[in-house]
C-alpha cells in the first residue's frame, strides 16, 4: 500500500523566507546542451535555485545560490 506521486515538488532554501520552501519549476532557457530551469519559491516568488537539465542523464549539474 504505497502511494507514489510523481510530483517534482522539492524544497529549496529561500533567501527571503529564510527557510526551505516548496518550489515551482519554471523553464527559463533552452540551451544547446539542455534546458535551464528556475526554481521559484511558491510563497514569495523569489528564485531560490536553478538547474540545467542536459540530454545526457549523467551530466546533471544542479546548482543553488
Ligand atoms: Zn520565499
Q: 45: CA distance to ligand 1 center in Å?
A: 6
Say if pTM beats, i.e. exceeds, 0.85: no
Output the pLDDT for position 17.
97
**How much distance in Å is there from the Cα of 39 to the middle of ligand 1?**
11
Which residues are in the CB-under-5-Å shell of ion ligand 1?
Answer: 14, 16-17, 41, 43-44, 46
Q: What's the gap in Å between 21 CA and the centre of ligand 1?
A: 6
pLDDT in tens, 6-64: 455 689 999 999 999 999 999 999 998 899 999 999 999 999 999 998 876 555 566 66
- Predicted confidence at residue 29, as pLDDT, reads 93
Q: Which residues contact 3 (CB under 8 A, 6 or more apart)?
A: none
Model pLDDT, residue 47: 95
Amino acid at each position: 500500500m504505497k502511494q507514489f506521486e510523481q510530483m517534482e515538488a522539492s524544497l529549496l532554501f529561500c533567501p527571503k523566507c529564510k527557510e526551505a520552501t516548496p518550489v515551482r519549476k519554471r523553464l527559463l532557457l533552452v540551451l544547446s546542451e539542455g534546458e535551464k530551469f528556475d526554481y521559484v519559491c511558491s510563497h514569495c516568488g523569489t528564485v531560490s535555485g536553478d538547474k540545467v537539465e542536459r540530454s545526457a542523464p549523467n551530466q546533471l549539474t544542479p546548482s543553488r545560490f
